[in-house]
Structure 1
């Protein structure tokens, strides 16, 4: 059951809502314009609030649903975290899109929401505050990670290994943003 859920989570994570919504509405592929990221922020810049919101909700669901299924099947918390990890890995490295995916923030948020809602709410609060102060989505995303991980370590120590690896992957996915932030040229919303 665990292996099947991990595989299903990876495949669901590999579905890019940004690309599907762009195609459905006859819009340009978000990987070819803007930041090149198939995520909600780039969709907002390229196609407006409506498609950005649908992208965000789809990406959240990709993280939430597999973990909720793992919990429903009674899998231990650490296994639930690994299932969520697989969903985010699918978003980062989607098999359906030549392993060129998004940054994984919304999918990770969905995973956190299913694993431990207080951590998701804390991450959202930090994201909103950082975004309000800087108007920079990538900085807000990177600010929420270090705050959320200690809370998970304290409340859900069995989820630490998958969450630690996931944090490293998310920082790696934002490596271009980190360079732009350091240079002071990161785009604001």
Structure 2
């Protein structure tokens, strides 16, 4: 099959996979409030942590990463080039951000983006997770941790496997764009810190 056709098909598959909202489904299965209507209103792991606790948030985080990792890894196995891998990974994130199955109201796409980067290698996955965890512990801001990890991700990739710097940079750029509102809230001191308590502030 033509490489362009395969790439287009994988972009569609990645978008549809990304459109499966883990936060909404986990909350429904566990009898929790709809994350789009509670807490920050963001259907992502951080908001689920606030309204449903750590175990629910971890489930969301795992499945959000998985829906980024699977299309990216399958595309890699199909022998697609780095640019194609980048577009496919971005498609998975756009599915998470604008899910066709959930009225196009999705999350930030951070876990899905990191999941799409993870198949590059265990070393990169470890660097990303360690950076995010350490920065959350230090700053208590999920947004700051996500943005800082996104900035560092292309550098880690260049160090570990420079072939994939382009797709990782594409994902990092998307993450930073999605956090423009968080940057403004940080500037004026209204950003919400990571907490298991319910909150009406944005995240």
- Stretches of structure 2 that go unaligned for 5 or more consecutive residues are 1-5, 195-203
Q: 1:40 Cα deviation (Å)? A: 0.6
Partner residue in 1 for 2:192: 187
Q: Secondary structure at the match of 1:129?
A: helix
Shifted more, 2-11 versus 149-158: the winner is 149-158
For the residues of structure 2 that align with 1:106 and 1:172, how far apart are their CA atoms? 15
Given the alignment, which residue of 87, 90, 97 partners 2:95?
90
Consecutive unaligned residues of structure 1, counting only runs of 5 or more, are: none
Could you tell me whether the CA contact under 8 Å between 2:120 and 2:164 is conserved in 1?
no
Query: Is residue 107 from structure 1 mapped to residue 103 from structure 2 by the alignment?
Result: no
Q: How does 1:117-128 map to 2 (within 5 A)?
A: 117-128=122-133
- Report the more deviating stretch, 55-64 or 70-79: 70-79
Q: 1:46 aligns with which of 46, 51, 58?
A: 51
With normalisation by structure 1, the TM-score equals 0.90
Greater shift, 30-39 or 70-79, is seen at: 70-79
The within-5 A match list for 1:10-49 is 10-49=15-54
Q: C-alpha deviations, 1:72-98, integer Å up to 9, x for none?
A: 222233322322121111111111122
Aligned length: 188
Larger RCO (CA under 8 A, 6+ residues apart): 2
CA contact (8 A) 2:131 2:145 kept: yes
Distance 2:178 2:111 in 1: 13
